[in-house]
């Protein structure tokens, strides 16, 4: 969220006009670097969130709350990817940018809750072993 806010506030949102890659592909020129970093961090974070959801659903001991929050996080990350593409295509339309931020806040909340539930689950398992 911080890098996205920086990209937006500094006016670099359209510095990389193509989506998902910048004009030079995987390794951008200096003029596209900040937007490329934003996209790289978002892609990495999205992959980790989806992997967490898969892991939660594969773990037979996962609580229902962690399944709900991680699944919602995955839904929100897919929504963020779609909105990110739409924001670029719509040339930073203000409503789409605001929705993109709002979904980002929801995504952060679900990711935080998933982490909290995971720590509680791990702590309960440690206490149960003692």
Which sequence spans correspond to the domains of the chain? 2-129
d(CA 39, CA 85): 11
Nearest of 126, 97, 82, 86 to residue 4 by alpha carbon: 97
Q: Give the per-residue pLDDT at 111.
A: 97
Cβ-based burial of 114 (10 A; exposed 0-12, middle 13-18, buried ≥19): buried
Q: How many CB atoms lie within 10 A of CB 91?
A: 10
Contact 22, 38 (CB under 8 A): no
Contact 85, 96 (CB under 8 A): no
Going residue by residue through the chain (130 aa), what tens digit of pLDDT does each one get? Answer: 888 888 878 777 777 777 777 777 677 777 778 888 888 899 999 999 999 999 999 999 899 999 999 999 999 999 999 998 898 888 888 899 899 999 999 999 999 999 999 998 777 766 766 6
Query: Which pTM value belongs to this model?
Result: 0.85
Structure tokens at 63: 């609580």
Structure tokens at 53: 């959801």
Structure tokens at 33: 């670097």
């Amino acid at each position: 969220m911080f890098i996205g806010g920086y990209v937006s506030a500094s006016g670099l949102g359209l510095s990389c006009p193509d989506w998902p890659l910048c004009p030079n592909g995987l390794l951008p020129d200096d003029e596209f670097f900040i937007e490329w970093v934003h996209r790289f961090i978002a892609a990495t974070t999205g992959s980790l969130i989806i992997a967490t959801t898969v892991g939660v659903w594969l773990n037979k001991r996962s609580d229902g709350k962690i399944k709900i929050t991680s699944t919602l996080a995955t839904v929100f990350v897919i929504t963020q990817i779609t909105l990110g593409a739409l924001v670029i295509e719509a040339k930073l339309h203000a409503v789409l940018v605001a929705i993109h931020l709002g979904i980002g806040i929801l995504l952060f909340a679900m990711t935080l809750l998933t982490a909290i539930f995971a720590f509680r689950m791990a702590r309960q398992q440690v206490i149960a072993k003692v």
